[in-house]
Structures are given as structure tokens and as C-alpha cells.
Amino acid sequence: MQHLVHVNNNDSDKNTKELKEKVQEETIQKLHHKSEEERANAMANKYHLPYVDLSLIPIDPEMVSIVPKETAQNASLAVIYKVGKKLKIAVKDPENYETNKVLEKLKQEDKMNYTLVVVSSDSLRKAWLTYDLSTVTKRFEDQGVSLKKEDLTEFEKGIHNIIDLKKRISEINTTEIFNIIMAGAIKTKSSDVHIEPNLDYIRLRYRVDGVLQDIVNLPIKVSRTITSRVKMLSKMKLNVTDIPQDGHFSIDLENKSINIRASILPSTYGESIVLRILSEDATGLKLDELGFNQFYMEKVEEQLLKPTGMLLVTGPTGSGKTTTLYSFIRRVNQPNIKIITLENPVEYRLEGISQTEIHADTGLTFAQGLKAVVRQDPDVIMVGEVRDSETAEISIQAALTGHSVFSTLHTNNAAGAIPRLLHLKVNPTLISPSINAIIAQRLVRTLCEHCKEEYTPAQETIDKIKEILSKIPRNNSMEIPRDVKTIFRSCGCSKCNFIGYKGRIGIYEMFILTQNIEKIILHNTSASEVMEKAREDGMITIQEDGILKAIEGITSLEEIRRVTGEIFSNKF
């Protein structure tokens, strides 16, 4: 992978130099590791043995201890796995004299069978580290560890990125492991932790910026430790393993408390765990940090000034609708304005705003909650989701009677909101008077500023981009480029955990219920009819907005394709 350093012209030469040196150093380290591993791989090929990178798999201190530390170091080997009398041994060179002496002894004197894998010196050094850990981990096993603030902070300090985390996790295999898993998730700003048991290992994955990343495979025997820890913390039934359970707990860090929602589901090989980390960070976004382009930003600002009417945000689950609504609320929040929210569930506390949680099972539905809320004389109401006719009807009535209503609908695009409302039996003549604007959105990952790479795509791709650009309406305040020469792609560096992306931004489409659109709304109006009119009013589609952001280097074409579906028939 090639690294390009992007520096603002304003930056001092010193900064530029430091940055360059840092990138160089990182590149050298990576190349060193790569060449070490390549050598090991070539060695493995020579002897027709499997090659293994131990930085990616956990090593059990008990296994390593089968051969004493000094002997193992002398013979350039490490025992990495043991079942009964069968060993799996990592060696640097299968023909090495010292190595063979030890192997011979294991076979003749200890009556062990073994298979070999070839590893690099780096891998061996890592394996030998576990000798020193085995005594430490024993101590932890005896005492048991609770999820304490000090532990987490301590672990967080040692973990700078996913690579560090993989190392830490594979070095330790006891009760400590849960703390490291959580510390790692918080450190990497993951939104979810997935712990999935398989036949002989546990798969640990984090969701980072909306995409699941494999972290490490854990030995199956830590499964019970982790499951009991989660159950204890979230007050679930310890002895129940055959039904789904959920609960929550919080982790206190130095200056903040993080809420975790835990869910356990029985699966073929044990209980599957998903931990949702309810980070306050995402909901703290300001309106201008959401990623609205200039044209939409002006429209949104204009709509938020209106004292009545409804603003609808649409998109699938996980497209960032709630974050957008929260930022709307934060924008209109003033001491003289009463804001009430109805949510399912309330995940984040907004200061100075009364938030009500919907409990459909105990009878408090959105519709019933909404009826009660309207009687509280609010100025602004946020309704988590309009999903049934009754909620749709009351929301529309509230919007028509002097309230500002923010809500979401589950449709793929903005135009689809109209047929969806009609489907929910909303009177077509009420739609335009009550609804001010409809927004649809998705979230795309933003390219890591430290390693993104500018490149010239294939002529075919350029032509396609130009074709798309030529179809974007020009009757809006956007400056649409007519040509494009280069775009950016993801690379990966230590700053982005070698993912190539860091953070997310919204891509949007939005239209105002103008007279142009109003006149076509009848009982059976289709999304494509609405779309046509919205385009006449200058609407830029989600995909077009995404492509404009890719041209700017905010994200990549691959990312737009991942989120919005196929753009081009050919690979670019």
C-alpha cells in the first residue's frame, strides 16, 4: 500500500516534517513485519507445512508452558495447542538442529505426537511473552475481577488501536478478557460487540462505523467466563441458557459513564452475545456536522424556523435518523420552548427536554403516548417513528394545530414517504398542509484523513461519473462539477486501525412539499411521480449527494456503492 501525505498549505514545515517522519516510521515497521511474515511463509512452503501468523490468534499460557521457557527459546519453538497427547508446535525452521533435539525428546521421552506449523521470529517472541503472563493470569483466575473503572482505564491506556487490542486479547485468557474486550470496544469507538460461539472457538467482532470487523478468535473455554460476566452485570438469570435474555449495565470511566445494552441469544454452539454501546458522541452532533450539502443545509435551516408542521426523516434502521432528529431538537431548543419526545426506547438523555419511553407491551403505544403529549401543550414534539395509522393521524393533526413535529418513517427514499403515508390511510388532502419537508438519509464512512489516497480511476469510471453529474438538476444552489479527473480511495494506517475509514457522515435527499408536488398527491400517487416533481424542484438524490462527496474526497466510490447499491455495472 502506498502512503500519501496530505498537508494543508498553512501547516508549518515542522509539522509537515514530523508527519512525514511518522508515516515513514510506520511504513518501515509495517514493511518489516510484512517481510518477516513473508520469509516465514516461504519457509513453510519449502517444507510443505502450514504457515501461521501468531499475532492473529490467541495463545494459551498453559500450552506454551509444556516446554520450559529457556528450552523453547533455545530451540526456536513454541507449543501453541494441545489436545491429549497431541501437540501443535510453532517453529521457525523445521530443520534446525536444536529444534529437532527438543521435538525428538517430546516424542521419545514424553510420548507426545506433534504437528508443526512455521512462524516468524516475531510470532515466536510473542508466544514466549505468554510465559511471563501465565503467573499473572493465574492470580486473576483465583481472585476474579469485576468490571472496575481502574481496570478499564488501565487497559484503555495500553490499547491504541485494533492491532494492539488483538495482541492484548491473545496474550490473556482469563476473567480479564471481558474487561479488555470492553476497553477495546470503547477505545476503538465501536458501537456493538459481537461474541459468537462456534464449534471450537469464539468469534469476537466489533462494529466500527457501521461495519463489522473481525477482531480475534477466542478459545472456547473463555465462553462461560464471558457469558456469566455479562449476565451478572446486566442482572440476567445465570442458570438460564435456552431462552433469549436482555438487560443493561453501565461502565464508569474517568470522566463519563457509558451505558451498555446487552442481549443474549441461544445458538447452536452456546449463547451468542451482542453488546450495544450507547455512546453519547454521535447524538451530540451539531446540525452542521451531519453532512448536509449547502443546498440542503439552507433548506433545513429554513424549515427549522417554521413554528408548525412536520419534518420527516426516512431511511432504513441504522441510517442515522435519530441522530438527525436529535440535532434538530438541539437546534430549536430554547428556554421558552417546550419540547417533548416519545421514543422507543430512550437511549440518550437530552438536557432540558422531557423524554417519554414507549412501552407497547404495557400498553403505552406511540399513538397513546402522543395523545397524552399533545395535552401537555408542547411547542415541539419528536415522535420516534410513525409506523401505524393512528400515530400518523395524530401526528398530522398535531402538525396542523400549531405544533412542530419531528418524526421518522421507514422508507428507502424521500419520495416513498408519500405513498407510505397514503398506505397508512392519511387523507391525501392533509399531507401537503401538514408536512413541511421530507428527508431521506444513509450513513457512509469517511475516508481517513491520514492515509486516503488520490488516484485516477479508469476512463470508464470517469465517463460514468460525468454521466451522473450531467443528470443532476442545476436549479439549486449547488455548484455541480461537470468534469472529474481524480478521486480518493481508502488505504489504512494506525490512525484508522488499518480500516482506511474513520467516522461517518450522512448523505441525503430532501424535498419541500411545494405546490408543484401538492397538486399530484392523490389516493394512489406513486413514489416515481413524487420523485419526478421533486427533481423538477432541484432535488439531488442520495446517491448523487454521495458521489459529490466522493469527488470532494470525503468518502470513496466503493463506500457509496456499499451503502446505496450499484452505481456502475463495471468495477472501478
> Which residues bind to Zn ion, rule: CB under 5 A?
448, 450-451, 493, 495-496
How far apart, in whole angstroms, are the C-alpha atoms of residue 101 and residue 242? 50
Residue with the shortest CB distance to Zn ion: 448
- How near is the Cβ of 499 to Zn ion at its closest, in Å? 7
**C-alpha cell of 209?**
462505523
- How near is the Cβ of 562 to Zn ion at its closest, in Å? 18
- How near is the Cβ of 27 to Zn ion at its closest, in Å? 12
Looking at beta carbons only, is 356 or 446 nearer to Zn ion? 446
Q: Give residues with Cβ within 8 angstroms of 104, minimum separation 6.
A: none
Looking at beta carbons only, is 497 or 543 nearer to Zn ion? 497
- How near is the Cβ of 347 to Zn ion at its closest, in Å? 29
Distance of CA 310 to CAs 106, 425, 430, 523, 543, Å? 76, 17, 12, 20, 25
Is the distance from CB of 77 to CB of 89 less than 8 angstroms? yes
Looking at beta carbons only, is 412 or 497 nearer to Zn ion? 497
Is the distance from CB of 165 to CB of 180 less than 8 angstroms? yes
Closest alpha carbon to 230 in 272, 188, 169: 272
Looking at beta carbons only, is 162 or 443 nearer to Zn ion? 162
Q: Are strands 435-447 and 380-383 parallel, antiparallel or unpaired?
A: unpaired
- Other CB atoms within 10 A of residue 185 CB: 25
- How near is the Cβ of 492 to Zn ion at its closest, in Å? 6
Looking at beta carbons only, is 147 or 499 nearer to Zn ion? 499
Closest alpha carbon to 36 in 14, 16, 15, 54: 54
**C-alpha cell of 150?**
481502574
How far apart, in whole angstroms, are the C-alpha atoms of residue 243 and residue 446? 39
- How near is the Cβ of 490 to Zn ion at its closest, in Å? 8
Looking at beta carbons only, is 119 or 448 nearer to Zn ion? 448
| Type and span of the H or E element at 369 | helix 366-375
Ramachandran quadrant class, 491 (left: phi over 0; alpha: psi -120 to 50; beta: rest): alpha
- How near is the Cβ of 501 to Zn ion at its closest, in Å? 8
First to last CA, the chain: 18
Q: Give residues with Cβ within 8 angstroms of 479, minimum separation 6.
A: none
Give me the count of residues in the chain: 572
- How near is the Cβ of 529 to Zn ion at its closest, in Å? 44
Looking at beta carbons only, is 167 or 450 nearer to Zn ion? 450
Q: Are strands 453-455 and 487-489 parallel, antiparallel or unpaired?
A: antiparallel
How far apart, in whole angstroms, are the C-alpha atoms of residue 478 and residue 230? 50
Looking at beta carbons only, is 231 or 450 nearer to Zn ion? 450
Secondary structure of 145-182 in the HEC alphabet?
CCCCHHHHHHHHHHCCCHHHHHHHHHHCCCCHHHHHHH
- How near is the Cβ of 208 to Zn ion at its closest, in Å? 13
Looking at beta carbons only, is 450 or 549 nearer to Zn ion? 450
